[in-house]
Amino acid sequence: MPIIYTPEQRIFTIHTAHSTYQMQADALGHLLHLYYGARSEGSMDYLLTYADRGFSGNPNAAGRDRTYSLDALPQEFPTQGTGDYRSPALTVRDANGVFGCRLLYRSHEIIPGKYALPGLPAVYAEAEDGAETLRIELEDARLGLAVTLCYGVLPSLDIITRSAVVRNRGTAAVTVEKLQSACLDYVCGDFDLVSFPGRYAMERQFDRRPLGRGAAVIGSRRGYSSHQYNPFVILADRGTTESAGRCWAMQLVWSGGFRAEAERDQLEQTRLLMGLGEEQFSYPLQPGQSLTAPEVILSFSAQGFERLSHQLHRCLRRHVCRGKYRDARRPVLLNSWEASYFDFTGESILRLAEEAKALGVELLVMDDGWFGDRCDDNRALGDWTANEQKLGGSLGALVEKVCALGLKFGIWMEPEMVNEDSDLYRSHPDWALTIPGRPPIRSRNQLVLDFSRREVRDEIYARICRVLDQGSIEYLKWDVNRSIAEVYSHTTGDQGKVLYDYMLGVYEVLERLCTRYPDLLIEGCSGGGGRFDAGMLYYCPQIWCSDNTDAIDRLRIQYGSSFGYPASAIGAHVSACPNHQTGRTTPLSTRAVVAAAGTFGYELDPAKLSEAERAEIRRQIETFREDAELVQQGLYYRLSDPETAPCCAWAFVAEDGTRAIISAVLQEKHANMPAVYVRPRGLTPGAFYRDRASGRVYPADALMDTGLPLPLTLGQYDSVVWRLERIEGTGRP
């Protein structure tokens, strides 16, 4: 059993294949965190130490015992107002404006299968998968406040999930001012904090820094998870590498504003928290009401970052992504955006489809510009009716013509947004999030619709359905192209709940679409990677990784993304050169190698290519089809850091070690340059592998020890790929 309760000591132990998580409801009723690390048996309460710490308060129930202080003890769900001066997971204000909450253990239950969170995305798993749920009930008797801590365990994947449900069982209102989903307290250790900051068009850059005294806080105040920070962090021992050392991950299954904190305190203890953002959050709960924290995925590795990534990748692929395309190969697509931007007609889209079909593309996506009076990005958002004059007929007729060529059809929409120059805004100006009495703050000349309101959600859902019902539309790109700056909903007096309810509203519409159109492939997008998170993957099995399609910049973007997200989730395309974002020119072969580490597609006009380039693209698509299963389901290995190494290299290796794809891009070229070697990992020790192209046989041990030399003839930005197949009958047992 993965969850064990020892009643004599009131200790809860959670075992996964390679880790153990332990906590204790102590004699005073406080739920203390004991351990999270390599799998271990027995009780870890010996790790607790007690001493009289000056200026660290003692709870009244401790009597004259000055050695007992929550300011110095590791906790599962610390609250404000208990004498613990570190950052809390929960802050509550009562009806009189008084802050403070003291939660004590009341009960627990262990049930088979993984819990679900109504209205929220979450990891799913059944009892047949070995999953179990632990619910621990805590209570503040003064407030009449109950908090249920939820723990989900997927033991074979080394995954533990956490959430919290706050319920007002009292007779007066309370207001939740801060709610974090998970807390990890470490009694000792010297750690680095790994996070993934960035900016528009350069998202999720790997950032590792020593955690010193004080707090390191990252998060998003933008209403979405954002380009600037990602809701995923790693705490690692100072010496941790890709293949050695301890590291812990927190990944939030949430697409709105968030907060992650790592705090090293006066006693050299470290607290790691993750949950909802605090800015513009103040959620009132009337008697009988509840509030659910979004889920955090926890995972631990004693064997470095790559093992941690493998565990998270498996979890997201198999237990977060859903639907037809969870396991199926994604269609190779051609998107019209960089081919024509807004300047297209129905005839030019049809010509693009014909060119795409001739290349072997499977899906044509018509991007922005097909609806209303949409000739640029200043108007018509919200008017989701096809511009039949521009398309030369109905949307349904165009879809039928494209499908008749043997292609699937996809379409772009931005359902959460509205332009002031639109029929929707003119009819319902109060549907936008704007502050009364002052001109709105625009971004990309658009406003945000108030998805916290049911009438808004219902109308937008109906408009999306009217579009999708016009023909066999099998792909929807759901975009969001601005952050939320002003928070005011015209139908509530409690503006502190709007951003949370907004995100639940987005999830509701997406869930309704997934239910009504089970075969529809939805690709998430927010100016590329501005909402790239585990919450969106519950509805969209792939997310446009970045609006930056430059292959060399993408090396760094996809490198950072790979720490927490599988290749199957990373929307990646081959685009035209010179690149539209950077002006850089890279070989077509390299652009394909980089895009093949994701969902793979094209963002260009084939009519502008030479016949040699068209022939190369046909070969690229055929090769990707052959490699797709390994890319989507295999283990991903980062073989070099693109920020520091002259060569960026990575590999996909089958779980059983039978196949491997090793890719490398030379970023720097110098005169009389030393040879550069790529050292793969994950091959079967003692085995031999044959390179599919050359037929050459390599010993796995030597490959993993010293590596493969890059051809000295490679130029800057050139690439090389080795496709290795294990020779059967070799390998140590």
Residue 312, H or E segment: helix 304-319
Burial of 37 (0-12, 13-18, 19+ CB in 10 A): middle
Q: What is the DSSP letter of 405?
A: T
Q: Where residue 389 sits, what CATH number does that domain have?
A: 3.20.20.70
Report the CATH number at residue 89.
2.70.98.60
By CB atoms closer than 10 A (0-12, 13-18, 19+), residue 319 is buried
- 428 within some domain: no
For residues 111 and 125, is the Cβ–Cβ distance under 8 A? no
> Which residues pair with residue 191 across a beta bridge?
237
End-to-end C-alpha distance for the chain, whole angstroms:
29
**218 and 352 inside one domain:** no
Is the residue at 31 inside a domain?
yes
pLDDT at 714: 97
> Locate tokens 């041990």: which residue?
701
pLDDT tens per residue across span 18-53: 999 999 999 999 999 999 999 999 999 999 999 999
Contact by Cβ (8 Å): 529, 228: no
Dist CA 606 CA 683 (whole Å): 38
Claim to verify: residue 50 and residue 187 sit in the same structural domain: yes
Predicted structure pTM score: 0.98
Joined together, the tokens standing for residue 572 give 């990646």
With cut-offs at 50, 70 and 90, classify the pLDDT of residue 733.
low
Judge if 267 and 353 occupy the same domain. no
Q: Which domain holds residue 348?
A: 333-415+458-477+497-632
Average pLDDT of the residues in 415-442: 97
Give residue 729's pLDDT.
79
Is there a catalytic annotation at residue 192? no
Average pLDDT over residues 275-300: 98
Q: Are 262 and 272 in contact (CB under 8 A)?
A: yes
What would the pLDDT profile of 333-362 be if each residue is shown by its tens digit? 999 999 999 999 999 999 999 999 999 999
* Alpha-carbon distance values, 153 to 115, 298, 322, 649 (Å): 10, 10, 19, 34
In a domain, 131, yes or no: yes
Please indicate, yes or no, if residue 182 is contained in any of the structural domains: yes
Token digits of residue 528: 């590329």
- Together in a domain, 541 and 664: no
Three-state DSSP class for residue 570: strand
Task: Determine the length of the chain.
Answer: 733
Does residue 136 share a domain with residue 280?
yes
In a domain, 132, yes or no: yes
**CATH classification of the domain holding 653:** 2.60.40.1180
Tell me: do 248 and 375 sit in the same domain. no
| pLDDT at residue 1, rounded to an integer | 86
| 430: in domain | no
Question: Could you tell me if 603 and 660 lie in one domain?
Answer: no
Per-residue model confidence (pLDDT) at position 274: 98
378 and 406 co-located in one domain: yes
Q: How many domains are there within the chain?
A: 3
Residue type at position 320: V
Of 632, 662, 692, the residue at which a domain comes to its end is 632
Q: How far apart are CA 537 and CA 518, in angstroms?
A: 15
- Asked whether residue 221 falls in the same domain as residue 337, the answer is no
Residues 33 and 103 in one domain: yes
| pLDDT of res. 730 | 74
Give the model confidence (pLDDT) of 481-530 as tens digits: 999 999 999 999 999 999 999 999 999 999 999 999 999 999 999 999 99
DSSP annotation string for 429-473: GGGB---TTSPPPPBTTBEEB-TTSHHHHHHHHHHHHHHHTTTTE
Is 434 domain-assigned?
A: no
Q: Is 613 a catalytic residue?
A: yes
Taking only the tens place, the pLDDT of each residue in 518-553 is: 999 999 999 999 999 999 999 999 999 999 999 999
Q: DSSP readout, 457-514? A: HHHHHHHHHHHHTTTTEEEEEE---S-------TT-S-GGGHHHHHHHHHHHHHHHHH
Q: What is the pLDDT of residues 618-671, one digit of tens each?
A: 999 999 999 999 999 999 999 999 999 999 999 999 999 999 999 999 999 999
Question: Average pLDDT of 229-257?
Answer: 98
- CA dist 346 and 367 (Å) reads 12
Name the domain boundary from 319, 345, 371.
319
Nearest to 203 by CA among 439, 419, 527, 573: 527
User: Is 487 part of any domain?
Assistant: no
Catalytic choice (263, 533, 627, 718): 533
Question: CA 680, CA 598: separation in Å to the nearest integer?
Answer: 19
Choose the catalytic residue: 613, 616, 629, 641. Answer: 613
Indicate the residue among 602, 632, 662 that finishes a domain: 632
The overall average pLDDT reported for the chain is 97
Query: In this structure, are 220 and 359 located in the same domain?
Result: no
313/341 same-domain check = no
